[in-house]
Each structure stands twice: as C-alpha cells, then as structure tokens.
Chain A
Amino acid sequence: MDHKIGVYIETGYGIGDALDIEALSAVATDEFGVAVCRADAYWNDPEKLAIIRNDISGEGLTAVIIAGPSPRVFQEEFAFEGAFTERINLREHVIWSHPANDEDTQMLAEDYIRMGITKASKYQDRPPFMEEVEKSILVIGGGMTGLTAALDAAAANYQVYLVEKEARLGGWANNFHKVFTGKPPYGRIVDSPIQEKIKAVNASDKIKVFTGQRVFSISGAPGMFDVVIRPDGDWIKKLDKEQNEWLAAKKAKEASGTEEEETPKPPAPEEAEAVGEEQEESIDFAHEKVRVGAVVLAAGWRPENLSGHENLGYGKYPDVVTSVQLEELATKGKITRPSDGKEVNSIAFIECNDGKTKHPLLYASFVNSLVTLKQAHYLRTTNPEGKAYIFYENMRTPGQYEKYYQDLQNDPGIFLSKGTPVSVSNGASSLTVELKDTLLGEKVKVNVDMVVLSTGMVPMTKDSAIVNLKYRQGPFLPENLYGFNDSHFICFPYETQRTGIYTAGCVRGPMDFQSCELDATGAALKAIQCVELTAQGKGVHPRAGDESFPEIFITRCTQCKRCTEECPFGAYDEKPDGTPLPNPTRCRRCAICMGSCPERIISFRDHSVDMIGSMVKSVHVPDEYAEKPRVIVFICENDALPAVDMAGIERLQYSAYVRFIPLRCLGNINLVWIADSLSKGIDGILLIGCKYGDDYQCHFVKGSELAEYRMGKISETLQRLVLEPDRIQVEQLAIDEYGKIPELIDGFIETLSEFDPNPYKGF
C-alpha cells in the first residue's frame, strides 16, 4: 500500500554537528519524495511532537519516521494516533560509533534513511487476528497444585474445568500424614490442608470437576482448545505406548542426523482423523467435550522406581520401605513394622545415592531432605524411645526450613550424619545398614527395625504426554535439557514450547506444598493472561501485545513442510494436501517460519521477505574502484541489537561499512536475502544472534541455531557463484558482550579485505 510518509530528522545530541543534515533530508525528499521532511532538535519535546501531530492530521501522514536516538528510548512519546512509527537510529548506531563529519559516516546515515523509508513504505495495514475466544481454563491434575490453580483462576472470575484421573481429588496429599506450612513457627508440622482445598473446589460454582477421567486429546489453539475428556481406562496404556514409541523413533532419527527426511506424523488416536481436517470427528466412546482458552498442566509426580536398589533391601525385606510408604504407615498412629506389626523403635533413613545414576538426586531436590526430617519427627513424636538415624549426602533445608532442621538437631533421639549407603542386610531380629563416607570414619554399621529409602519424585510427563495434543509436531510438550516439559528460561519460568499450556507443580520438579501453591498461582495467571491477550488479537510472551501475525499466500505453497517442522512452538498443523494449517493464536510472532519458507510466502504486516529484501536493495553500493566495501549485518533485535546500542553508549568505534538490519530472531533469516545482498554487490554478510546449544539464550529456543544450520547449506551456492564461503559468517553474541562488537565487525571487514570486491557490483 502507498504510505504518506513524514521524516523527522533529529539534529540534537550532536547529530546536527556530525552529519550533513541537508544531504540527509535530500535523500528523503529527492530520492523518495516523502510528503514531509523536517530537521530539528529534540523531537521528543512536547512542542515538537505537536508539529508531528499537526502534520499527521494536516498532511494526512500514515507513517512517521523518526531519525534520531535509538528506538529503545521515547517509545511512548513517538506513538501517534493515525500513523505508525518507524525509527532510524542515527545516534547510537551512527554518530556515537563513527567519526563526525566523515564521508563514510555520512554514507552510513544516508543508507539508514533509505532503509528506513523503504521499510515504512512496505508496511501493510492489516487488522489483528480476531476470533471468538473462549476464556475458560482447563486444569489437568487435582492434587495440591491443580486445586490451587483452579481456585485461584476461579477467584479471578474464570470458569475452570478440573480433570483428575483418580476417583477422588487431592492426589498424593491424601496420603500425607503431616505437612509443613511454610509459615512460622517453622518447627511445626500440621495436618494436610488438602481437605479444605477440596471442599472449596467442590463448593465453587466456577469449577467443574471431572474425577476418574483423563484428557483424551487436545486440539485447536489458545482461546479455542477443544478438549476431549474420557473416563480412565485401559485406553490410556495403549495411547501412551503408541505415543512413546513415536517419540522414541523421532528421537532416534534426530540422533542419527537424518534431518532432511520428513519427521513421521504423530500417531492418530483411534478415532481421530488426520490433524487439521475440518469434518466433525466421530467419537465412539463415552466422553465429554469442552472448549477452553488455556491449560494448566499440574499432573504431578509418581515415586521413582527403586528396582536396581536390591542391595539396599528394596523388594527383598518387608521392613525396607520407601518414604512414600512410610507416610501411609504414619497416618495410622504408631509406626509399626510391615513384617510383624511390632512398633518400630529405630529407623535408618537413607538416600538411594550409590553412584548408579548420573544425577541421583535430580528427583529428590530439597524435598527429600525435608521429608526425611519430617518422618524422623513422626517417629520421635509417637515413640519417645525411638531412634532415627539420618544419612545424607547434603542436608538441603533451604530458607526458613533451616529452622526446622536446627530444632531436630537438638533432639537427642535423632542422629544425623553424612553417609553413602552400601548395603542393607537381614540380621537376627533387625536390619543392618552399612554405610561409607560418614562423619564417624570410613565404614559404619547400624542395626535398626526399619529402613526408609528416600524416594525421588518423577514427573508424570516422564511416562505420558498427558496433554495428548493433536498437533503436527506431536502429542508431547517438548522436553528441556533436564527432561522436564517446562521452560528452560530462568527469566520466563512458565514458557513451555506449546503456547497457552503452562506447567505447574511437581510436574516440573520436586516441590514442597508451599512451592506447589506458589507455582500454581503463577501458572493460573499466565493462563488468564493468555486468554485475555488472545481475545484482543495480541501475541503472548515474549512479544506480548504484538498484533501482527503470519499470513500465508497459500496458492504458491509447494508443501515443503519446513514451516510446520521448524516452528519452535508447533504453531502449524498440516492440511490433507500437505500445505500448512496456521493456528495464529499459537504463534509467538518470531517469524522463524518466514525464514524457513523457500517460496517467501509467509509475511507479517510490519515484517516481510519483500520488506527486508527491499531494504537490502535500497543500500547504495559504491563501485569496486571506490574501495568501500559494504556489509549487511542481519541481527537479532532481542539481544544483539541492544548490545550494538550499548557499544554506541560506550562510544566504541567500528567500521562504517556495515548496515544493520534487525530481525525478530536470527531464525527469521531467509536465504533469499543473502542472494539479494550478493546480487546487489554487497561484499559480506554477517549474522549476529543469541548463543545456542544446551544453555541457549535465544528467546525463541532454536532460532539462532536454525540460522547457523541454514547458512551451512548456502556455502554450496556461494561456491557455484565463485564467491568465497567466508563472505558469510554467523556469530553468537550475548547482550553484555558489547565490548566485543568492534573486534567482531572490524575483524570481519579484515577478512573481506583478503577477497576481491564482490564481482556482482553494478549488475
């Protein structure tokens, strides 16, 4: 569409002293014929903003371009009714990083004016994605976490559907004898508060409870998830088996590196038609169907399987029990031995930590320390003569729980020591525990009536997808490095790779009651936020509020399936003809799909293949005799671009031959822009994005890694064009590494100096 553009060039901050402003204005007026072009100091001042507003109404501007300080400042000031704003950074990226009144600095500024105007002229005016949105929330799991999430969402006036596989609500907490409160006095343990939570849930007219039922499938997208709820039965075993086999095959294929092949389609549940087909499914079993806007997954945990710990008497001696079993024994009052029903006078508490597994305490966390102390306390409360021996690797009682630990340390009936269990054997009338590495010297033997093995808490998602998504990318929530299905971001703990589905509680790691409650409330907020933003046609984190979304010119689609496979969030399903079926409310607006598409048919209203390609083409490339190389830097706008701002703030200087083009994520890079650049005569192309690998910093999980992968494929093309592969480089840069920018950029220019100028200049 044709825009009426106003360009406002800043002369303050020394910009007017360092650049030829008249020449800059001439670029806007003579080369582009913009409707308005003004140069003045401090456009953010109220009286100057009034001039811009006047131009918008008087001249009918639809686009305002501010060429001045970084877009990181004055965002609110430069937001106008009736026109969108584009920002050109003449301060941090030009005059603060390059010498004043210099030919190359001036050329840089002029190119940025060209690129900015070109970008604005390609902006499409499209409304946000609005559909009827259901705001109710599905909570999976009726334990402490699920109940809390349900109650908290209901208290904010949201309808909740709560699905619990067992016949009654409460989960493991039903079996707990006593629990910690997390409140002073910290030395106290109390009856589980779970019954009150259950009562409150049952009393709420905003919560519909499904007990004895499971989620059979979830299809759709945030704001419009269709959930099939089915009574628990053998079907789940069959479904889990099929889905786990599919996942194992997928992982095996990924590990073998045959990535070129299409990934197998996920198994279709017995009745289901191909994903994405519009016809009504026929379901021939008892079920209920609900529509929800977002999901909280609070499926909890199961005890770790201790087989393999036979040396510790597990499964061999009836009086060797797990910590989970002890909770149940303790609810009966005095603790008695399973073997003969006699009251227990001594217990050894040991960790199943004998070096057999790589991370033996991954599922123990600090919770096992607390449980052990608590259970020793049970013994001491019910049997004043009782003796508890606690052996541990590290006693983990974080925060105020330390107080509880201190109290128990003062109890003469509780003996605490570091110690690694070696074996448990049967003595005459008791069990003998052998330990090493204790505080008392090398090996120690203790005779006790009972041995309690500390049992890890394994997330339920280890065995089952649970959410059973009918997504092209499969039924599971993607796993993180640690094997949990939640976020791998420290800063964004609720962001799973499936938009609108938030994990909470022990499904994401062992937690005490207090942590479960805290986590449940947060997850409920994220679910509420998701439905509210979706209802307004806005994206969720990390581009919360973004109204743009990808649109596909489907008639040109060649069914290559790259978009459906590369989207980190599984936003695309697949139609029977092999073309992608977009789900805009699953989309996080990273534009990785736009980069993946060889047909260049995916675009956002304010970001498209044509827009970026045109920006590249708008750069003035001096001829080969000028000895002024040109470099396009495609740069991630999340971390690397602010780092360039920091370099400017610190007045670090680097070559003025480079032009930065920000991308939503480096995975947004489309190979056609490389071709555009090279055919334009650009000498080198640098891609700067976030660190990737196990501890990735990419806000969209795998964008920077995908960029690297795509560039790996382009070197062949370069060789065909008789161009050196080193003309294209991918660099990782963290936001605080701005000190490296001069070296990185000047180093690249240095590399290019070894090559002849791009022979395609002037073509």
Chain B
Amino acid sequence: MAGEKTVLVVGGGISGITAALEAAEAGCKAVLVEKEPYLGGRVARMNKYFPKLCPPTCGLEINFRRLRRNPDITVHTLATVETITGSPGSYTATIKMLPRYVEDRAATSKCVDDCPVEIPNDFNYGMDKVQAVRLPYAMAYPMHLVADGDALKKAQGSPEFNAFVESCASKGIQINLDAKPETFQVTAASVVWATGWRPYDATKLDKLGFGKYPNVITNVMMERLASANGPTKGAILRPSDGRKVNNLAFVQCAGSRDENHLPYCSSICCLASLKQATYLRDYNPDAQAHIFYIDLRAHGRFEFFYDRVRNDEKILLTKGKIVHITEDPVTKDVILEGEDILSGSKIRRTFDMAVLATGMQPNTSLEKVPAPGVSYDEFGFVVSDEGIHATGVTKRPMDVGTCLQDATGAALKALQDTVGR
C-alpha cells in the first residue's frame, strides 16, 4: 500500500493528527498510526486548554471532521511501528496492529452496558473502572468499540458472558476473542514521529507521597477530575473520602528542573496549574487554591492569563519549593513542607488535597524510534531531522499551540521529502 507521495505519521495525538491532516490537505497521502484504540492522545484526556479555557474536544472534533472527509488519510489505531528501513524519500515500515476483539458498526458504551466484566479505567488514569467492552470516550474517533481481550478471556464460558455475547450479536456487535494481531507494511517517502509524552512517574518522587497518600494526585489526574466525562463527572472531590475539595495545593516542578528526575523545564506546568486553579474556583466558589512555585513561567501572551488568575483573591501564589508531603492519618489531609524562597522561612501547611505538577517525559526516552539514523539529546528528545521528522513533545516540551505550529512545519518537511530535493 501507499507509495512515494505518502507520509507515515506515527502517533495520533494532537501533533500527529495535525501533521497528517496538514500534509494531506497540501497534496500528500498520509498514513496515521496510533497505539491506543482512539485518536487524540493526551489532549483527549484534558478538560480545558489554557489560556482560553476552551474544551480540547472542540478542536479535536473539527480535526476528526477533516479526517472523515479526506480520502487521502488512512488511520490505523491499536497499531505500532515495529521497524522502519530505508532512507529519506523511500522508507518501508512494518506495522503491527492489535485486535479490537469486537466488531461493531459505530456503537457506543451504552450499547454494551450489560458487559459483565470491569477493568481499571486507563483513560481516567485508573481513578475508576470501566466495562471491558466500551467506546474509549463519547467523542472517540474512530467510533468503534474496543475490548480488553485478556479480561474477557477470564470470563469466557461463564453464563453471564455467554448471555452478553448473545445480546451483542442481536445488536449487530460481534465479540471475537480469537482475533489475532496483524502485521503489514507501509511504504512512505517520509516519516513524522509524533509519539508524544507521558507524565513523569510521580511514584519516583518518594518524598512527595504520591501513591502513598490518596489525596496526593497529579496534574493529569486533576484534568480528569474536572472533566464532565471524568470519574466524578466534573466534581472535584478528594479521593480519600469523596468530599468536596476546599483547600487545594499545587506543587510546581514536582520532579522537574531537578537533576535527579527531569532536569529540564516542561514549559507548561505553571500554566496548567493556573488553569486547574480556575477549575476548582469554578466548581466550588468557596474553595481556595495555593500554588507553590520556583519561577512562574507564564510567558508572552500567557501573561494575560496569569494576570487574570492571580487577580482572584482565592488563588494564592507563593514562591517556594515544596520538598516533603506527609498525611494526617486521621483527617487524611496532606501536610506540605518546604521553603519560602523570598523570606527564607519554612513552609508547613495543611491542605485537603495536593496536585503534583509533574512534567512531560518524551516517550522516545523509553521507546526509541525503530529506525537507523535517529539521534537524541540527554533527556531522550529527538534531535535529528533527516527523513524522519520528530514533532511536538518528541522534540521538546511545548504547549498545544506550539505543537500545532511544529506539526504543521513537520508536514512541510515531509512534503519536501516527497518531491525530492
């Protein structure tokens, strides 16, 4: 399949979707490969974008519309690239596609809500459970169910399971646990690598209590808590007892700008916390948010947003580094300790819940591009740019707007590869 005018885009987050669409609308053919069963990546799991506080699904939906109407783009979900051989202008990629274990016709989770098996909900960072057969989220593209094959296999043979399979069949939905992974090849003139990032593993920050104390969560979890389609339907409740959060702390640079963890700055966490402080204030007008930061990095036009947030008298900002979090064993409140940078005095304060502003770690730091000639910096961001073009957070930490600029540029570099130089 495909050929010389083709661009292979790996990673179906906002950068990859953009690169594929921009290239296709400029006259290329694009093959978009995503390892999850849906497109949208990290942004699909966010509640709002800063600084406009608008929903990411708004932009995703319009991109999905562009995808649907464009016959020059092929999308493969649950797919990963095994190897890439060749050179700029002529690559062959081997792609492995996992089975969905379910065949449907644009069905939704409610169509299969009699599914007897539940699994932890990875979409919500494990904060709740979900049916083992489901649409990943209501706006998911492609609108196809996906099943957790392993979980279903454990239930196979039970009467509940058999009844479920039969009920599915009556709705035109087939469960097929014998489905096998498929492997196929794509030839392309150019490759755009947009596998994005993962939140830094907060359990490695052993002094900050994540994983130990239920009321210490991370910023990506906070996005889900505030989302109308999240585990609490948008209610900002603390995990230990489901109580409304009244007094919330944000711990900036949790693992970032830190030689022992992520030495670089992830660029977006300050703005993300400012934004998340507004989630709390919108949800609970009596609540107070307190952000502890080293430098407040809200640059350029984000300055306006920073101003808007800090003018809220119930959002407090302290230039201070939090080094230790403990728990009050009775109330399950969290106790933050650190240093107030300006006064030099010690901080010790109690909060209902703490959000760790963890940074973005490039996926390429752990999973390298399976192709020759790709080089990385000491943090695992891709540096080289010949034939295989890294874009978005694969290149450096950036906000969504910058990812889109960069991915649009990557589309041009790919287009250049297709015309030859």
Query: Is B143 among interface residues, defined by CB-CB distance under 8 A?
Result: yes
Cβ of A271 to closest chain B Cβ, rounded Å: 37
Structural contact, A394 and B297, CB atoms closer than 8 A: yes
Q: A183 contacts which chain B residues (CB < 8 A)? A: 377, 383
Structural contact, B381 and A42, CB atoms closer than 8 A: no
Interface residues of B in 136-187 (CB under 8 A from A): 138-139, 143, 171-172
Interface residues of B in 92-110 (CB under 8 A from A): 105-108, 110
Q: B416 contacts which chain A residues (CB < 8 A)? A: 152, 155-156
A320-360 to B contact mask, C-beta < 8 Å, 1/0: 00000000000000000000000000000000000000110
A222 to B158 alpha-carbon distance, docked (Å): 64
Give the interface segment out of B61-69, B198-206, B283-291. Answer: B61-69
Cβ of A712 to closest chain B Cβ, rounded Å: 25
A186 to B378 alpha-carbon distance, docked (Å): 10
A697's nearest neighbour on chain B, judged by CB, is B54
Structural contact, A361 and B303, CB atoms closer than 8 A: yes
Categorize the interface residue count of chain A: 35 or more
Query: Is A493 among interface residues, defined by CB-CB distance under 8 A?
Result: yes
Q: A656 contacts which chain B residues (CB < 8 A)? A: none
Categorize the interface residue count of chain B: 35 or more
Cβ of A223 to closest chain B Cβ, rounded Å: 15
Partner of B105, one of A42, A157, A182, A439: A42
With A184-B377, A400-B379, A491-B62 as given contacts, are A74 and B49 in contact (CB-CB < 8 Å)? no
Q: B108 contacts which chain A residues (CB < 8 A)? A: 649
Q: Is the interface of B mostly helix, strand, loop or mixed?
A: loop
Query: Is B86 among interface residues, defined by CB-CB distance under 8 A?
Result: no
Interface residues of B in 229-270 (CB under 8 A from A): 229, 233, 257, 259, 263-267
Q: B51 contacts which chain A residues (CB < 8 A)? A: 695
Structural contact, B172 and A13, CB atoms closer than 8 A: yes
Structural contact, B295 and A394, CB atoms closer than 8 A: yes
Q: B25 contacts which chain A residues (CB < 8 A)? A: 529, 532-533, 541, 544-545
B409's nearest neighbour on chain A, judged by CB, is A521
Structural contact, A155 and B421, CB atoms closer than 8 A: yes
A736's nearest neighbour on chain B, judged by CB, is B55
A639 to B57 alpha-carbon distance, docked (Å): 9
Cβ of A495 to closest chain B Cβ, rounded Å: 11
Cβ of A187 to closest chain B Cβ, rounded Å: 11
Q: A73 contacts which chain B residues (CB < 8 A)? A: 106, 143
A545 to B24 alpha-carbon distance, docked (Å): 11
Q: Give the total number of A-B pairs whose CB atoms are below 8 A apart.
A: 232
A392-410 to B contact mask, C-beta < 8 Å, 1/0: 0011111111110010000
Structural contact, B58 and A402, CB atoms closer than 8 A: no
Structural contact, B265 and A401, CB atoms closer than 8 A: yes
Cβ of A374 to closest chain B Cβ, rounded Å: 16
Q: A186 contacts which chain B residues (CB < 8 A)? A: 377
Structural contact, A525 and B106, CB atoms closer than 8 A: no
Query: Is A33 among interface residues, defined by CB-CB distance under 8 A?
Result: no
Query: Is A463 among interface residues, defined by CB-CB distance under 8 A?
Result: no
Structural contact, A41 and B405, CB atoms closer than 8 A: no
Structural contact, B405 and A544, CB atoms closer than 8 A: no
Cβ of B55 to closest chain A Cβ, rounded Å: 4
B35-77 to A contact mask, C-beta < 8 Å, 1/0: 0000000000001010111110111011110101111000000
Structural contact, B229 and A518, CB atoms closer than 8 A: no
Partner of A736, one of B107, B229, B257, B379: B229
A529 to B70 alpha-carbon distance, docked (Å): 14
Q: A400 contacts which chain B residues (CB < 8 A)? A: 264, 377, 379, 381, 396
Cβ of B109 to closest chain A Cβ, rounded Å: 8
Q: A69 contacts which chain B residues (CB < 8 A)? A: 105-106
A509 to B377 alpha-carbon distance, docked (Å): 27
Structural contact, B301 and A484, CB atoms closer than 8 A: yes
Structural contact, B138 and A650, CB atoms closer than 8 A: yes
Query: Is A494 among interface residues, defined by CB-CB distance under 8 A?
Result: yes
Q: B228 contacts which chain A residues (CB < 8 A)? A: 736-739
Structural contact, A521 and B412, CB atoms closer than 8 A: yes
Cβ of B200 to closest chain A Cβ, rounded Å: 14
Query: Is A14 among interface residues, defined by CB-CB distance under 8 A?
Result: yes
Structural contact, B62 and A646, CB atoms closer than 8 A: no
Query: Is A638 among interface residues, defined by CB-CB distance under 8 A?
Result: yes
With A418-B342, A439-B341 as given contacts, are A691 and B383 in contact (CB-CB < 8 Å)? no
Structural contact, A651 and B110, CB atoms closer than 8 A: yes
Query: Is B400 among interface residues, defined by CB-CB distance under 8 A?
Result: yes
Structural contact, A399 and B408, CB atoms closer than 8 A: no
A266-301 to B contact mask, C-beta < 8 Å, 1/0: 000000000000000000000000000000000000
With A525-B26, A528-B415, A533-B25 as given contacts, are A695 and B52 in contact (CB-CB < 8 Å)? yes
Cβ of A65 to closest chain B Cβ, rounded Å: 18
Q: A545 contacts which chain B residues (CB < 8 A)? A: 25, 66, 69-70
A686 to B303 alpha-carbon distance, docked (Å): 37
Structural contact, A72 and B68, CB atoms closer than 8 A: yes
A535-579 to B contact mask, C-beta < 8 Å, 1/0: 000000110110000000000000000000000000000000000
Listed by A's residue number, 10 A-B pairs whose Cβ atoms lie within 8 Å are A13-B172, A69-B106, A152-B416, A153-B412, A394-B298, A490-B401, A522-B406, A651-B110, A695-B54, A699-B62
Q: Which 6 A-B pairs have the closest CB atoms?
A: A491-B59, A521-B409, A522-B408, A365-B300, A525-B412, A398-B267
Given contacts A406-B257, A650-B138, 6 further A-B pairs with CB under 8 A are A396-B295, A418-B341, A481-B304, A490-B401, A519-B409, A736-B229
Q: Which residues of A contact B (CB under 8 A)?
A: 12-14, 41-42, 44-45, 69, 72-76, 96, 152-153, 155-157, 182-184, 186, 358-359, 361-362, 364-366, 394-403, 406, 418, 437, 439, 481-482, 484, 488-494, 509-510, 515, 518-526, 528-529, 532-533, 541-542, 544-545, 638-639, 642, 646, 649-651, 691, 695, 697, 699, 734-739
